Structure 1
């Protein structure tokens, strides 16, 4: 992820625009946050998460 962020940060796509660099960093940050939250939400071995998911699926 760090390598991907460095590539996005230094790419010609982001250029010298502060807003494009901010956007690229924001997308990377949101992607990382998604995986952290998703890892905890899908721990179905824990009874609380399992009940939460099963209640919404039925």
Structure 2
């Protein structure tokens, strides 16, 4: 669901067009840059060895 569009529609009346676009642009920028700034995103590339006992062979 496009929450940015829903939030923008709600903010458009009270704030106006320019402040709404600025605020949501900053939110989109923060979400886009989150993988560069948060260490938890960098940990997704770490490979962990597979436990030999956890693998099952069928056949």
TM-score computed with the length of structure 1 as normaliser: 0.42
TM-score computed with the length of structure 2 as normaliser: 0.42
Larger radius of gyration: 2
